[in-house]
Structure 1
Amino acid sequence: MSESLQRRLGTGDAVFIGLGSMIGAGVFVAFAPAARAAGSGLLLGLAIAAVVAYCNATSSARLAALYPASGGTYVYGRERLGEFWGYLAGWGFVVGKTASCAAMAIAVVSYAAPELGQPWRGAFAAAVVLAVTALNYRGVQRSTLAMRVIVSITLTVLAAAVVTIFATGDPQPSNLRLGTSGVLEAAGLLFFAFAGYARIATLGEEVRDPARTLPRAVPLALGITLVVYAVVAVALLMRLGPDALAATTDPVAQAVPGWLSPAVRVSAAIAALGALLALVLGVSRTTLAMARDGHLPRGLAAVHPKFGVPHRAEVTVGVVVAVLAAVADLRSAIGFSSFAVLVYYAIANASAFTLGRVIGGLGFAGCVVLAFSLPLASVLAGAGVLALGALAYLVLSKRDSAAA
């Protein structure tokens, strides 16, 4: 059985995978908690998060072109910094993005069935995850086609929402007064929304001409997403104000007239579904890479002979996410995911810095600052899980050394 993935994806496919991850997470999930942290200062937080994300994207794109294999920073850290740092990056990515997957599944249910109570809400979220896993199992080409459709629908509805807000919503420019309190916390939470471009790098083994495709696709997806975020954030703040934005769970739907609200809710559910689709792809590819190296069970490295996907890794990730989605809380999932993924990108930037890239040093510093600016509970939970992963690595390394 071959364990090589097929190079099927072009630049457009890679860009849509990144857009599907970022736009689904950011527009419909991250603005309300960011407003709770910083009020209208979330705009400054958005700018800071974008700068850090740009550094990360640049570092990731250059490293992905140099090491075009599944696994992203797991591979880069291993090759540039050593086995342990690659493992820690991979562990951080898998646990952090598993939490992100659960958050997206919960978001789908929250928008699609807001009145549904437990335990049916959890069962619905788990069913959503299993359906996405089944789609990915059939092959990445089907997934990228779905991503194009989802992103197109989401952007169309968002454009209609923004135009309607400015045309009929009585926007108040005075709501854009910026403060500095809580800005770094808001930036850390908003970074959750930008992190989707990593899906492009983790698909490095499945893109055509990765040395050319990846450095183009990552910054392009990030730039488009930043423009969308900025426009929507300004519209929401001007229409709702920072206090109302912080208090709502569905700000875009609340900001538009009633006749447009159902379309926004449907679009939000679809966008979160698209993010989940891309997230499961990325986590399963990193799981594949770690399994190949023995850091996870080697059976997870199998690639399906017909569909050309890491089917065991995808099924395993899908089952774990389904369980989490059935029991997890959305806000805690976002905070935990942000901390773990910022650690992941800190290692990516450190890896790029070894290539003489000054931007890698800036990105590393930004990731560390944002990670420790998150709510204390998120920092403690994230650090604890990463420490457990590091301990497991050390124990297994000693066991392997003793066996040798």
Structure 2
Amino acid sequence: MRTQPMAGDIEERDPGPSPAREGKGLREGSVGLLAAVALGLASVAPAYSIAVTLGFVTVVVGHLAPAALLLGFVPILLTAFAFRELNKEMPDCGTTFVWTTRAFGPWTGWLTGGWVVQAATLIAMAALAQVGAGYLLNVVGLGALAANQFAVTVTALLLLGMVTAVGYRGVQIAASVQYVLLALQLVALLGFGAVALLRHGAATPSFGWLNPFGFGGFGPFAEAVLLCLFIYWGWDALITVNEETKDSDKVPGQAVLISTFVLLGTYLFTAVAAIAYAGTGTTGTGLGNPANASDILATLGPPVLGTALATVMQLAVAVSAVSALLTCVVGSSRTTLSMASHGALPGVFARIHPRHRTPGFGTVFFGVTAGALLVLLSAVSSRFLGDAILSIGLLIACYYGVTALACVWHFRRQLRNSPRDLLLKGVMPLLGGLLMLAAFARSAHDMYSPTYGSTSFHGIGGVFLLGVGSIVLGVPVMLLVRARFRPFFHDGRTTVAELTVSDE
């Protein structure tokens, strides 16, 4: 018996109406535009992302780092339009899972829209918890413990427990907490940039730093842009609360575009200010110094802001990691809620807490699983966890690219309706999807080298094994799930059009 529709079937069969929003039990209309934007920005962890990425980008392309940030934003923006158009048509908290299932069938939907997204999120949660713990220990004056792997791991587990509890209580509480956490990050970054530009000896910013044609070859250009994909990743978490958002067919899409442009402006301002102050030299505080690459803000904070305010900057990075951790918990539990509601996972993931109106089991499940992954990776090697962070880039490019192409395929019959539909539902998502998949291919090629990252196994880079291995592992897991949830894998394109909560 055939378990997946063939191409001809897709033309002949109507998958039915868009997925229903009713019936999951979430608190509808509880999240406004501002809260959605805050969740989207917080999930990117802007202070943390710029701190750990800008240095590596500058090492690769020097003063053209702002240009790389600008070019890296292009596929993100194109993909954001795909998310916006798909959310208008299908405002389901399962987002990529529902959209790719409707477009390409249950196998692609479950693997790339479900498994890959959750694998990337769990790896990110483990990394964010560790980073947040290290910074927090430094901020409170326990620098000696910050160098102790056991102390950092215990603190990280406590942070995971805290954000899981907040997420369990409800997205309204989570959004309220994010206002404070996000405000601290943005004030710290913009304040740092303003002071750096006004410091004596700071260079005058040049438009040449934004020149997209100034790269010395495709290799450095591609590597820098790939690094920049990570710096923008996470804004799509706000879409997972679309069923709890006011005007769920419009507000999440607006929040996506607002949050991505706010990120672009913040990153460009911070990067330009840092280069103007420190330059791109390979010694001292220069941004091209490999010794500074892993944390530019920690290097430049004291000379730019002074010791006291530099501590505030450290706090902002710690807060950045913790706030992103919170949105990961919120977003992941809602994706599995949708998957279970549509019969693709055990029904326990679809259970809603009667008072808090949240997917209680799913929230706790992801908090505990991320903690277990953190302990496992830390036990294997601290360097292994670092490679796990780098591998996230592969997973990002994979599911963003497939989702963008799903937009083109789903709306293919509407592309001739108007120039707007052709541009926003066809051309822009298609370009975004192709750029993302090209980034995936280039990343996989580079990561295969044993010299990429910190670990290798039998001549193959550890980053490649973690990234590609995470995707490949999803195949046997999917086959096991299929044995229990045959209806979804037999007719997934139509089952995601209505709630089919599994009681198994």
Q: CA RMSD in A?
A: 2.4
Match of 1:253 in 2: 298
Counterpart amino acid of residue 102 in structure 2? E
| Superposed displacement of residue 236, structure 1 | 1.9
Write the distance in 2 (CA, Å) between the matches of 1:388 and 1:123. 28
Residue 427 of structure 2, aligned match among 358, 362, 368? 358
1:147 aligns with 2:178: yes
Counterpart amino acid of residue 247 in structure 2? D
Counterpart amino acid of residue 258 in structure 1? G
Match of 2:26 in 1: 5
Moved more, 193-202 or 87-96: 193-202
Q: Which has the larger radius of gyration?
A: 2
Write the distance in 1 (CA, Å) between the matches of 2:464 and 2:313. 33
Residue correspondence of structure 1 range 121-200 to structure 2 within 5 A: 121-168=152-199, 170-172=201-203, 179-180=215-216, 181-200=219-238
Moved more, 154-163 or 303-312: 154-163
- C-alpha change, 1:297 and 1:170, in structure 2 (3 Å) is farther
1:230 aligns with 2:268: yes
Moved more, 117-126 or 287-296: 287-296
| Superposed displacement of residue 398, structure 1 | 5.7
* 8 Å CA contact retained: 1:189, 1:334: no
Partner SS state of residue 80, structure 1: helix
Match of 1:83 in 2: 106
Write the distance in 2 (CA, Å) between the matches of 1:171 and 1:272. 30
Residue 389 of structure 1, aligned match among 445, 470, 474? 474
1:343 aligns with 2:398: yes
Partner SS state of residue 203, structure 1: helix
Residue 94 of structure 1, aligned match among 115, 118, 138? 118
* 8 Å CA contact retained: 1:372, 1:379: no
Counterpart amino acid of residue 372 in structure 1? A
Write the distance in 2 (CA, Å) between the matches of 1:18 and 1:153. 15
Q: How many residues align?
A: 403
Match of 2:88 in 1: 65
* 8 Å CA contact retained: 2:345, 2:485: no
Partner SS state of residue 210, structure 1: coil
Counterpart amino acid of residue 117 in structure 2? F
Q: Normalized per residue, which structure has more helix?
A: 1
Write the distance in 2 (CA, Å) between the matches of 1:54 and 1:197. 11
| Superposed displacement of residue 334, structure 1 | 2.5
Match of 2:39 in 1: 17
* 8 Å CA contact retained: 1:77, 1:347: yes
Write the distance in 2 (CA, Å) between the matches of 1:362 and 1:253. 37
Deviation readout 1:211-233 (Å, 9 max, x if unpaired): 22122111011001100011111
Please give the TM-score of this superposition, normalised by the length of structure 1: 0.92
- C-alpha change, 1:398 and 1:145, in structure 2 (3 Å) is closer
| Superposed displacement of residue 37, structure 1 | 4.0
Write the distance in 2 (CA, Å) between the matches of 1:149 and 1:174. 31
Match of 1:283 in 2: 332
Runs of at least 5 residues in structure 1 that lack an aligned partner in the other structure: none
- C-alpha change, 1:153 and 1:70, in structure 2 (3 Å) is same
- Matched residues, percent identical? 26
1:113 aligns with 2:137: yes
Moved more, 98-107 or 85-94: 98-107
Partner SS state of residue 331, structure 1: helix
Deviation readout 1:19-57 (Å, 9 max, x if unpaired): 112224422332233334444443332122200110111
Counterpart amino acid of residue 26 in structure 1? S
* 8 Å CA contact retained: 2:388, 2:467: no
| Superposed displacement of residue 400, structure 1 | 5.8
* 8 Å CA contact retained: 1:254, 1:261: no
Q: Which has the higher contact order (CA 8 A, sep 6+)?
A: 1
- C-alpha change, 1:138 and 1:186, in structure 2 (3 Å) is same
| Superposed displacement of residue 396, structure 1 | 4.1
* 8 Å CA contact retained: 1:40, 1:179: no
Runs of at least 5 residues in structure 2 that lack an aligned partner in the other structure: 1-22, 416-425, 449-460, 491-504
| Superposed displacement of residue 99, structure 1 | 1.1
1:46 aligns with 2:101: no
* 8 Å CA contact retained: 2:47, 2:316: no
Write the distance in 1 (CA, Å) between the matches of 2:50 and 2:468. 27
1:296 aligns with 2:342: no
Counterpart amino acid of residue 393 in structure 1? M
Counterpart amino acid of residue 103 in structure 2? R
Write the distance in 2 (CA, Å) between the matches of 1:119 and 1:106. 11
Write the distance in 2 (CA, Å) between the matches of 1:74 and 1:39. 39
Residue 440 of structure 2, aligned match among 371, 374, 384? 371
Write the distance in 1 (CA, Å) between the matches of 2:52 and 2:344. 33
* 8 Å CA contact retained: 2:343, 2:485: no
- C-alpha change, 1:31 and 1:295, in structure 2 (3 Å) is farther
Deviation readout 1:321-345 (Å, 9 max, x if unpaired): 1233344555323222221121111
- C-alpha change, 1:400 and 1:148, in structure 2 (3 Å) is closer
* 8 Å CA contact retained: 1:185, 1:370: no
Moved more, 343-352 or 295-304: 295-304
